[in-house]
Amino acid sequence: MRVLNVAEKPSVAKAVATILSRNQGLRMREGRSRYNKLFEFNYSIRGQHCQMVVTSVTGHLMELEFEDRFRKWHSCDPAHLYQAPVRKFVPEDKLDIKRTLEEEARKCQWLVLWLDCDREGENIAFEVLEVCTQANRHLDAWRARFSALIDREIHESVQNLVRPNQLFADAVDARQEIDLRIGASFTRFQTMLLRDAFVIDIAADDRNLVLSYGPCQFPTLGFVVERYWEVQSHEPEGFWTINCSHKSDEGTATFNWMRGHLFDYTCAVIIYEMCVQEPTATVTKVRQQEKRKYPPHPLNTIELEKRASRYFHMSSEHTMKEYAKVAVNLHVRFVTKIVTRARSAWFDTRSWEVECMVAEDLYQAGFISYPRTETDYFSERTDLHGIVREQLGHPIWGSYAQLLLDPEAGLWRNPSNGGHDDKAHPPIHPTKFSAGESQWSQDHHRLYELVVRHFLACISQPAVGAETTVEIDIAGESFSSSGRVIIAKNYLDVYRFESWGGSMIPTYVFGQQDLDSRKMIVNAELCAGLYILTVLNPSAFSQFLSNKSSVRHQCWFIPTTLTLDSGVTRPPPLLSEADLLNCMDKAGIGTDATMHDHIKKLLDRFYATKDANTRFSPTNLGEALVMGYDDMGYELWKPYLRSMMECDMKAVSLGTKRKNEVLTTCLEQMKACFLDARSNKGKLLEAMALFFERSNRSTGDEQQEVGDVVRQCNLCQESNMVLRRKPDGNFMVGCLGYPQCRNVVWLPGSISEAAVTTISCNYCTPGPVYKIQLKFRRLEIPPNYNVDHLGCVGSCDEILRQLTEICGTGSRICSSVPEQQEGEDQMLLPPMHNEAVVGKLLAFTVAKEGILQMIALHWFCALGIHSLIEQICEVVETLQFHVIRVEHLAFCELLTLKTTGEESSTHVSLRSATSLWEDSLDSSSGGRSAQPASAIRRGGRGRGGRGRGHGRAGQSGGRTATTDAIFVSATGDPVSGRRCFVCGDPSHFANVCPNRGM
């Protein structure tokens, strides 16, 4: 039977193959990937002869990403990322590994997965399983569970194979998808909103700065900012305390005031004066008891990182990762591990790094057990004595290991239970003896020493000490002092990183004051004894008096010093790395394997800094982001949301919740938070303005106003085209791939409202192309068009095309359109394809705006302008100039609209030039009002605005206005209030006003 074995790393594959083959008959050959070799040898599993093939992957074989159309930043509204389809695929740099697995899987009958025995490793196992079963669906899959690369563990695991755990893999899949969607949406939102709006001078290239958001990263930043705010908001306050000390032949005791301190100076002085006036101290209590200092729990990953930071000032990231040179020989025990960093949801590129992990090195070389574990207690089947025996030969702690194994020494103690078990790996412990390897760095020596000493300490007896506490009374005020004597150091002998210091204090015995609390006397029992001595044995009484001073010092004494000291309150210290890890652990932020990555990301993103004492403080950027979200009312920087998510992931791994259930609940909750945060984005802008200057660059705010999707871009075929409203109020349908893609459809400038519907066009391809419900301003479109129109931006809508030519794509009210400032987004301007289009737009603008304004001038020559328009129309054939011509003729009183019941079109006829300025209404017909409604003349729009009528009624004889005449505007709407707009006289119109031109 042929068995394919797959490990998580090339070094692990080599170690497993070497152990199982016992380095006999081991053959190595190249695979398709130069870093992932194949090892072949013969072996027997459960009595069955097998031909073993061992190879490896390099971490995760697959990546989770959005579909291509959603991957670019401008491809969609970030809110759509909560429902956008995702896919898990093998990236290009892992295709060689995939091909190797497929080729070998076709030849094998069994698949044994040697991945790390945690949830992440289980997820990688199912990625390998998916690739292999696609090549060979009859493959029988098994799982090897081990915690150390030592002979005993490896041989035992291969003889006790189990099935892969789907629940563990589901938990990781859920976490990956939640992190991807939340991280990508918030990162795109805050980056596009803030990056170009402010001068963020924390990076050399702030135009490419990414303001990332991570569900674990941001609560971690919240811990740093919250402690920083506590420090900054602290106001020092003065206090006063009374200190007392007593010096004797046996030593000096310092007594602390049991009130602690007082903030009221007057009260402190009064009490102090009382003590000074009656300084005699009475011993009120002497308590002696045995104290024990217990050894630590067995070592897990978080404790390893915390203690390495506290004892050696090693960062958590450095504890788990140490960068090394690429050229590291594979035969060296500390094999360089080449990994592909998990691609962030907001990046389109992959970054490769060659890393060497300190703890990982020790594990892969077989010196310690698996370093990523949450477990902090040993199971009963762990051979603890065997682990201790391997350390007997060490020159430093070998003698202590010998004492542990000696029953007469009584030093052995079964390790305590820390209460955590990840069901995958035991606590971190030494698996092989080493007195120090020549290739080890100083950090390797330190970390190995910490692991060994910690293990020996956790199976040792606690330290034992005798503690004495003495309480005294001075003028009614209580003081106390304590001293400790270590009786047996026990585990402290080997665990040099901890101490249990103490100090000796003089011996005191119980004494008491008299009733007036001012004179010190012996107690009542002593008085009775003295009376008996006086009567029965006078010599004994004399001897007692000669020794009275020693008795008095045992019961009462006069303090050597009694001072009133002042001080000020101090703020809490900034969080150290050990403190931060502890906060994350308590809140359930991240896992033991990812906490150091979240901390490192804060530094990489310039959200926080770390000083020489490994204490963190936020940068202006980090503080501004947290402040902005805090002002919104959503505590996105608090750990509660993420802690609930982590609990849900654990429930998935245990089978109490389903993956889809957790995904639905978490994503619905976070989408609501996202939408609310986006609606309150002003809070983020206000917070950033407190720390950074505004930028002259065009902001990403325009891109935030992303409308509904109309169609997929037919030009770049990657991004969506969405409906947008420009700052001047006009509408457009533009590609979200801008500026890479500049595809845009400009809608008519006369649209007042526009909304994308769910109705798709049946003619335009590629679909779907959703129709847009348009509402036009009546005064800006011809009367034979409806104000409501369901339009399509494809090539099928003839009405929308006509209205675009008639009304143009700019606003009809030019005074409301702001001038474009330098540096504004050029996407706001319609594209100019050739000189003909430029000529059309220029001619239309000049004719339209110039003519309408010149009509009101007293020297206006109507026929000359009309001739100009006719000449332009001959050169530029467009419906826009037809409208100008009609409106001009109406203003000049040269136009009469005649529409009969049988005719469906509008006819234009010129009247004689002699009636340019004065129309004579037929008095026999009763003026213009006697005409049919279909023959009503159109009036123009003058300087007085649309609310005033400027049509001119004819006059009979003495130019008397006909009161029942009806006038219409150029758009066909009736107007009222017929009067001269120059002088206001209703008897004539402006063209014959005697005041015109004055």
Q: What sign does the CA torsion over 838, 844, 847, 850 have?
A: negative
CB 117 within 8 A of CB 147: yes
Query: What is the distance between the alpha carbons of residues 187 and 210, in angstroms, rounded to a whole number?
Result: 8
Instruction: Compute the half-sphere exposure of residue 601: CA atoms within 13 Å on the CB side of its CA.
Output: 21
Q: What sign does the CA torsion over 458, 460, 462, 465 have?
A: negative
| CA-based nearest residue to 777, from 812, 809, 738 | 812
- Listed in order, strand segments (DSSP E) in 137-237 are 140-143
| CA-based nearest residue to 827, from 754, 722, 752 | 722
How far is the CA of 763 from the CAs of 597, 711, 804, 884, in angstroms?
A: 52, 13, 20, 33
The 477-488 sheet, strands edge to edge: 556-557, 281-293, 463-474, 477-488, 251-257, 238-248, 561-568
How far is the CA of 47 from the CAs of 19, 43, 177, in angstroms?
A: 18, 9, 43
Query: What is the distance between the alpha carbons of residues 315 and 873, in angstroms, rounded to a whole number?
Result: 77
**Which residues, including other chains, have CB under 8 Å from residue 412's CB and lie 6 or more apart?**
404, 405, 459, 460, 461
| CA-based nearest residue to 421, from 460, 388, 375, 383 | 375
Q: Residue 715 gets which letter from DSSP?
A: T
Per DSSP, helices labelled H in 741-893 are: 798-807, 835-854, 862-875, 879-891
- Listed in order, strand segments (DSSP E) in 902-946 are 907-909
| CA-based nearest residue to 639, from 147, 993, 215, 230 | 215
Query: What is the distance between the alpha carbons of residues 921 and 918, in angstroms, rounded to a whole number?
Result: 10
Per DSSP, helices labelled H in 791-861 are: 798-807, 835-854
Buried b (16+ CB within 10 A) or exposed e, 531-560: eebeeeeeeebeebeeeeeeebbebbbebe
- Is residue 574 within a helix (H) or strand (E), and if so which, with residue range? none
Task: Catalogue the active-site residues.
Answer: 370
Tokens of 147: 């915690």
Residue whose entry in the numeric block shows the structure tokens 């959200």: 607
> Beta strand 751-760 with 770-776: parallel, antiparallel or unpaired?
antiparallel
Residue whose entry in the numeric block shows the structure tokens 């009309």: 866
